[in-house]
Amino acid sequence: MKAITSIAGSAPLRDDADEPIAAILKVLGEGERFLVCSHAGPDGDAVGSMLAMGMLLKRMGKHADMVSADRVPIVFRALPGADRIQTAMRVHGPYDAVILLECDGVERTRLQGLESFFHINIDHHASGVAFADLNWIDREAACVGEMVYRLFRSAGVALTPEAASCIYTTVLTDTGGFVYGGTRASTFELARELVAAGADPIRIAQQVYFSTPISKLLLLGAALKNLHREGRVAWLWISQEDMIRSCAVEEDCEGIVNYALSTAEVEVAAFLRELEEKRVRVSLRSKGRVNVAAIAGRLGGGGHENAAGCTLDGPLSRAKEQIVEELRAALACARERSEGRNLIA
Ligand code: AMP
Ligand code: MN
Ligand code: MN
C-alpha cells in the first residue's frame, strides 16, 4: 500500500483532509481486525478518541481492541465503554492495522509488539511526526477526537450519544474547558453538534472537574509549597516523597502546572515531577509568546506551542536549573522579537 502523509495546518471541519481521510477509511473498510491505542499516561483526548475510534470501527462491522500501557484515569472511567480499554505491556495480533492516536512514534504508546503491523498515525501535535505507513496530522485540530469526528462524518456513520460523549470529553479536556489557544468558532460548532447528538455537557464536566480524588488535592498542596516565580517565569515541583506522602498516582499530576501559570504576571511555567527511576518528568505551559513545544523538542519531548512535555535526567535540582534556564532564555528571545516588531511598527 502506498503511504499517504498529510500534515495540515488547517481549520477544522474543512475539506483539505480529504485524501488522508479517504486513505484511512479505505484501510478500515478493507480490514477486519484493528488495534486502537494512544500515548502512555492517557489523558482525556487519548481515552475519548480511542473509545470513539473503537465505536466507529464497531459500527463499520469491524473488530477493534483498545489497549493502553497505563490504566484509564479515574475521571474518565465513567465514559461509555471505558472498561473495554485493556491495560497491557505487550500486544499480540493478528491485526490488519494499528491506529495510533496522538503519538509521535510507536514508542509513545510504551506498548511492545506493535512493530510488525501496518501503522495509521492520527495526530494534532505541533511536534507530530509522519512515522507511520499512513499519516494524518492536523496541527490545527483542537484535539484528536475532532479528527475522529471527521472520520465518522466522512464514513457516513451517525454519531451515537455514547460516541458524542467520548468526543465531547476530548474537546473539553484538550481545550482546558474552551480556554486554551486552538479554541475557535469551529470548536464551539463541534461542541454544539456533539451536545445535539446526545453528549451531556454538565454531567461530563462534573465527572472531569468535580471528581478530584483527595490524593490529588494533597499533592497540589505539596506542589504549591514549592511554587517559585522569577519575573514572568514560574515553576513548581513534587518529589517522590511528596507522591508517597499524598498516596498519589501519576494521573494526580495532571493539570498542576496550570497553577504556576495562573497569576497575571506569569507567562511561562514548568511543573517537575521526580520519577522513581531518578528521571524527571517536565510539563511546560505558555500563555502565548513562548513556543514550549520547541523547548520540549530540543530536550527529547514534544507537544503543542503552548503545552508540551519531556523527561530529563535527574537529580531534580539539576533538572530544575536546566528547565528554568531554558524558559528564561526563551522568554528573553520572545521579548526581543516582540520589541523588534514594535520598533518596526
Ligand atoms: P503534559 O504536560 O504531559 O500534559 O503534556 C502536554 C502536551 O505535550 C500534551 O499534548 C502531550 O501529549 C505533549 N507531550 C508531553 N510529553 C511529550 C513527549 N515526550 N513527546 C511528545 N509530546 C509530548
Ligand atoms: Mn494527549
Ligand atoms: Mn490531544
Cβ neighbours, 10 Å, residue 5? 16
CB within 6 Å of ligand 1 — which residues? Answer: 39, 104, 125, 127, 283, 301-304, 307-310
Q: What is the pLDDT of residue 3?
A: 57
Residue of minimum CA distance from atom 13 in ligand 1: 303
Taking the C-alpha atoms of residue 100 and residue 98, their distance in angstroms, rounded to an integer, is: 6
Q: Domains in the chain, please, with CATH?
A: 4-208 (3.90.1640.10), 214-344 (3.10.310.30)
Q: How far is CA 9 from CA 6, 225, 255, 309, in A?
A: 10, 40, 26, 21
From first to last of its 345 residues, the chain has per-residue pLDDT tens of 445 677 665 444 445 678 999 999 999 999 999 999 999 999 999 999 999 999 999 999 999 999 999 999 999 999 999 999 999 999 998 999 999 999 999 999 999 999 999 999 999 999 999 999 999 999 999 999 999 999 999 999 999 999 999 999 999 999 999 998 889 999 999 999 999 999 999 999 999 999 999 999 999 999 999 999 999 999 999 999 999 999 999 999 999 999 999 999 999 999 999 998 889 999 999 998 999 999 999 999 999 999 999 999 999 999 999 999 999 999 999 888 888 776 654
The helix/strand/coil state of 311 is strand
- Residue 162 β-bridge partners: none
CA 143–ligand 3 middle distance (angstroms): 5
Nearest to 112 by CA among 51, 52, 40: 40
Q: What is the pLDDT of residue 2?
A: 40
Ligand 1, residues 37, 108, 125: which to mutate, most atoms within 8 A of Cβ?
A: 125
147, 10 Cβ separation under 8 angstroms = no
CA 42–ligand 2 middle distance (angstroms): 6
Ligand 1, residues 43, 50, 295: which to mutate, most atoms within 8 A of Cβ?
A: 43
- Residue 87 β-bridge partners: 68
Ligand at shortest distance from the CA of 292: 1
Cβ neighbours, 10 Å, residue 128? 23
CA 47–ligand 3 middle distance (angstroms): 10
Buried b (16+ CB within 10 A) or exposed e, 275-304: beeebbbbbbbbeebbbbbbbbbebebbbb
φ, ψ of residue 239 to 5 degrees: the values are -90, 170
All three cell numbers of 278 = 531518578
Ligand at shortest distance from the CA of 108: 1
Strand pairing report for 85-87 and 233-238:
unpaired
Question: Torsion-angle region of residue 61: left (phi > 0), alpha (psi -120 to 50) or beta?
Answer: left
All three cell numbers of 285 = 505551559
Ligand 1, residues 273, 310, 311: which to mutate, most atoms within 8 A of Cβ?
A: 310
Residue carrying the nine cell digits 520572545: 334
